[in-house]
Amino acid sequence: MKPLAVFDWNGTLFDDLEANLAGANAVVEMFGLPALTAEQYQDHFTFPILHFYVSLGIGTVEYLARHEEAAQRFLSVYEETALRCSLRDGAEDVLAWLNEHDVHRGGPKKLDRCVRWIPNSRCGNRAGRSMLLRKGRAVGKQKTKGRSPMC
């Protein structure tokens, strides 16, 4: 049986606090609230996401009435800002080690929407929408099929 390593992507391998904060601030701005600091974001963030926004002072009914607009706004700002984000120190080394030792990697479903393919690395990918990285920095979005030649 092949070993399996399962981990979260956001904040664990991909340092995307800046992108999450920017996206959240785009949403709170929609509701006329002041921008959050990184500390406030981390103190309040929770799932389901509705509870996060309610904890910031947005009414449940008010948020639900505009949740699709809020989600689109968050994702638009997140994806743009994530281009400036990078892998956390040591993340590529961990992924390469797992690959070299034939350890299957897994994570949450949204992992397929995040950075999955690092050219010239041994990290591999999955089919789906990806954020393209070069030397550990996000540089653009790309559609991918299958696995990188290194895997």
* Arithmetic mean of pLDDT, 126-148: 39
Q: State which of 82, 106, 135 marks the end of a domain.
A: 82
Instruction: Report the pLDDT averaged over residues 108-128.
Output: 37
pLDDT of residue 107: 58
Return the pLDDT at 112: 37
Highest mean pLDDT (candidates 24-28, 100-104, 146-150):
24-28
Q: Which of 11, 3, 33 is nearest to 110 (CA)?
A: 11
| Confidence (pTM) | 0.68
Q: For residues 119 and 101, which has the higher predicted lDDT (pLDDT)?
A: 101
User: Is residue 78 domain-shared with residue 103, that is, in the same domain?
Assistant: no
Residue 124 has pLDDT above 70, yes or no: no
Same domain, 121 and 77: no
Please give the residue range of the domain that contains residue 112. 86-144
Domain check: are 91 and 136 in the same one? Answer: yes
Q: Last residue of a domain, which of 82, 117, 135?
A: 82
Mean pLDDT across 62-83? 96
Q: How many domains does the chain have?
A: 2
Counting DSSP H helices and E strands in the chain, the numbers are: 6, 7
Instruction: Determine, yes or no, domain membership for 46.
Output: yes
12 located within any domain: no
Q: What are phi and psi of 56, to 5 degrees?
A: -90, -5
Q: Among candidates 130, 124, 126, 132, which has minimal Cα distance to 146? A: 126
Asked if residue 139 has pLDDT above 60, the reply is no
